[in-house]
Structure 1
Amino acid sequence: LIDVARAAPHRVSQAPCQEIVETASPSLAGLPALRCWPGDAGHFITLPAVFTRDPLTGARNVGMYRLQIFDDRTLGMHWQIHKGGAEHHRRMTEPHPAHGGPPAGHAGLADPATTMPVAVALGGDPAMIYAASAPLPPGVDEVVFAGWLRGSGVDLVRCRTIDLEVPAEAEIVLEGYVDPAERRLEGPFGDHTGYYSLARDYPVFHLTAVTRRARPIYPATLVGRPPQEDYWLGKATERLFLPVIRMMLPEVVDINMPAQGIFHNLVIVSIRKRYPGQARKVMTALWGMGLMALAKTIVVVSDHVNVHDLSEVAWRATGNIDPKRDLMLLEGPMDDLDHAALRHRFGGKLGVDATEKGPMDDVAQAWPDEIVMTDEVRERVRRRWKDYGL
């Protein structure tokens, strides 16, 4: 469990990210943002940590959402509907239970009664950058999570024009606000799916300040058809969150979200199967876990199967199933970037029970033994490998 005392953030009054402060005429003009692919709609910030605050509870959220630069003072804020920043944005338009509207009190240059403060931190501690991308459960603070990863709390400093705190060690910070009533066409963008995500209306970020180090390093990542750099962020998430999945599903042995499935399109899970329907139970449980709800296909195999060997998984997934018995089709929420869904953000899902079947599964015939080379033959081949000229 997280040692909260050790991982809790520290408030500081001076910070490297505020060595230079631009509030009179802040501009994005000097930012070396990338235009990664020929069909991109413009230049994009691709590795930001976006800080927002719940307007009702005050809870912080940090997410990683691309930003399209529209001009020197505005950007497109691509937070998808399933993400924390979008939830805070949505709550700005809901009536406050006590005041009949969103709470006032957001200090800043914009009208605090109608706008939402947002800060974009670029660079700094890799733990904080990763934490912004991590699919944490609701209520878990990404800043505390980053402190746990790095072994000590993150230093935070108050922004200059809005009522938010940002990592003191960041290279560059963009301060500003989003008007909940304003949207603008954002995209297309060459995304991690290997396709261009479609142009859609998204909120607009208005710049109120730029703070930075005296000699900042601009961070960026390139996404596209996998594997790209973000593949390794995804694999880190897979490994870090496997113990969390096991806490709720102790029968789970291992999990693989391969690059070929761009993570949310294919999840392979091995389980210790003990009773009928257990594979289906695991599938439905995973579809109920946070952003795992967006997974399109889940394949469940037996505990001895190496889920990272895609050739073995394919062999078992085709040989161990009866399509009528072992496929589960249902509908549910889909990733914002899924261009093949029935409709935007909603579509079909497939569960595949590729475990071995036995008497408890009430199969009509005996399950055959696998062909396995004997240890004697395997050892003989190993000893004489060079003799065979191989």
Structure 2
Amino acid sequence: NLGMYRVQLGGNDYKPDREVGLHYQIHRGIGVHQAKANQAGVPLRVSIFVGGPPAHTLAAVMPLPEGLPELVFAGVLGNRAFRYFRDEEGFCVSADADFVITGTVHPHEVKPEGPFGDHLGYYSLVHPFPVMRVHRVYHRQGAIWPFTVVGRPPQEDTGFGALIHEITGSAIPNEIPGLHAVHAVDAAGVHPLLFAIGSERYTPFQRNERPQELLTIANHIFGKNQLSLAKYLCICAREDDPALDIHAVDAFLQHMLARVDFTRDLHFQTNTTIDTLDYSGMGLNAGSKVAIAAVGPPRRALWPEVPGGLRFPQPFERTRLVMPGVLAVEAPPFGSHDQAEREIALLDRELAGQDLSGLPLLVLCDDAAFSAESVHNFVWVTFTRSNPSHDVHGIGSFIEHKHWGCRGPLVIDARRKPHHAPPLERDPAVERRVDRLGERGASLHGII
């Protein structure tokens, strides 16, 4: 197994130069390997490779099919075999890495790891994670320690994501029957929002009135490798618009919102797993998912502007149109889920008698102007700050035979919650320190 993992080299309770922390995200291969080592009652042997050819880095982040070794893929990508040797202790040492740290992870041995900024645009907090006992450190002559910057997209994951889509875009549909395209939306932090286009072929002898095969595809996606980390999955039928661009976020959302039937087309998975870095759920790795499937001709015209007669009750008067059919509604700071239920009930009472047919999606947020300023702002706020089971509401909502739906607009509560991790914010003092490294005579002059 070759994977990309966060390694904490110092701080917290780690013994300097003797221990490092390993951050395991859910659905990563190292967890499977340590489980096997634990069952055998032996330490897991780990080699950390830093730097080296770009093919090694890309192979480590590729969502490869089970059974295809990343080392083989790295060799194919780099047009030569992955060069390595075994040291006297039997550890694998990359002959091309700039640095190699070898060590062992012992069963159930953990220490606090974090906090670190991460690619969703928030901090990942301190949690107990495996600690590696360091055996040896190797380096090559003229070694370079690479670094990157993390934060709200676009950042480090954006380039990786684009390249992965380019390489695997045509392969993933071969893994899931009926799937034509899938796109993890970078601006939303990748895993929180997934778009998919599938086929509807179950009943070709009659007009298709409701999602059928799309639901089979959605369930397959929720069970497929890292695609299973998706929190919101929006899937539509290729037959309805063969020219639909899955990478055009606003056009795709408008296609969905014009066709979705919220009384029928919302399918939740509750008390399940979500991405380790996503703090919108009930705890580490814990949250919910929703698949939203839309098929058929448009059932509504999305309003390009808010009608002058539409009135929202206090304290929800400040609203901004994000795109046709989507309204950002500024709300008071989030207090609790019980309070949120009362606020939704107020909106339900006050809006029930008004015409909302062209506004199928309302998003409660802390700052309507910021959320509506760009599509990137909108998807980042909406899908990184909400947990479907707790934060998806609706005007005229109902439960019928365990199915939840709503007869009016869908309401997503995307306010910051007390249990959320703090957002990453630029620190001017740190930026000035980094800028000084690029000045003439400094260590990074000519590089940054």
User: Scaled by the length of structure 2, what TM-score is found?
Assistant: 0.60
Whether 1:202 aligns to 2:129 is yes
* Residue among 90, 108, 133 paired with 1:163: 90
| CA pair 175-248 structure 1, distance change in 2 beyond 3 A | closer
Q: Helix, strand or coil: the match of 1:351?
A: strand
Which deviates more from structure 2 when the two are superposed, residues 190-199 or residues 249-258?
A: 249-258
Whether 1:316 aligns to 2:255 is yes
| CA pair 166-270 structure 1, distance change in 2 beyond 3 A | same
* Residue among 81, 85, 88 paired with 2:30: 85
* Residue among 186, 209, 227 paired with 2:154: 227
What does 1:205-354 correspond to in 2, within 5 Å? 205-275=132-202, 276-303=211-238, 304=242, 305-331=244-270, 332-354=272-294
Counterpart CA distance in 2 for 1:271 and 1:320 is: 15
What does 1:1-390 correspond to in 2, within 5 Å? 61-70=1-10, 71-94=16-39, 101-102=40-41, 114-160=42-88, 162-275=89-202, 276-303=211-238, 304=242, 305-331=244-270, 332-357=272-297
Q: Which residue of 1 aligns with 2:309?
A: none
List structure 1 segments (4+ residues) > 4 angstroms apart after TM superposition: 366-370
- How far off its partner does 1:240 sit? 2.4
Counterpart CA distance in 1 for 2:87 and 2:260 is: 57
Q: Helix, strand or coil: the match of 1:147?
A: helix
Counterpart CA distance in 2 for 1:333 and 1:243 is: 27
Structure 2 unaligned spans of 5+: 11-15, 203-210, 303-448
- Given that 2:51 and 2:99 are in contact with CA atoms closer than 8 Å, whether structure 1 keeps it comes out as yes
- How far off its partner does 1:267 sit? 0.9
Counterpart CA distance in 2 for 1:241 and 1:324 is: 35
Letter in 1 for 2:3: G
| CA pair 300-140 structure 1, distance change in 2 beyond 3 A | same
User: Scaled by the length of structure 1, what TM-score is found?
Assistant: 0.68
- Given that 1:81 and 1:87 are in contact with CA atoms closer than 8 Å, whether structure 2 keeps it comes out as no
Q: Helix, strand or coil: the match of 2:142?
A: coil
Counterpart CA distance in 1 for 2:74 and 2:295 is: 37
Q: Deviations over 1:301-333 (max 9, x none)?
A: 232211111111121222111111111111332
Counterpart CA distance in 1 for 2:163 and 2:124 is: 24
- How far off its partner does 1:270 sit? 1.6
Q: Deviations over 1:78-115 (max 9, x none)?
A: 12342111222222221xxxxxx43xxxxxxxxxxx42
Counterpart CA distance in 1 for 2:212 and 2:46 is: 46
- Given that 1:299 and 1:353 are in contact with CA atoms closer than 8 Å, whether structure 2 keeps it comes out as yes
| CA pair 274-125 structure 1, distance change in 2 beyond 3 A | same
Letter in 2 for 1:282: I
Q: Which residue of 2 aligns with 1:20?
A: none
Letter in 2 for 1:281: T
Q: Which has the higher contact order (CA 8 A, sep 6+)?
A: 1
Counterpart CA distance in 1 for 2:33 and 2:183 is: 31
Q: Helix, strand or coil: the match of 1:269?
A: strand
Aligned length: 284
Give percent identity, aligned residues only. Answer: 32
Counterpart CA distance in 1 for 2:91 and 2:264 is: 53
| CA pair 93-369 structure 1, distance change in 2 beyond 3 A | closer
State the Cα RMSD in Å.
Answer: 2.1
- Given that 1:120 and 1:173 are in contact with CA atoms closer than 8 Å, whether structure 2 keeps it comes out as yes
Q: Helix, strand or coil: the match of 1:323?
A: coil
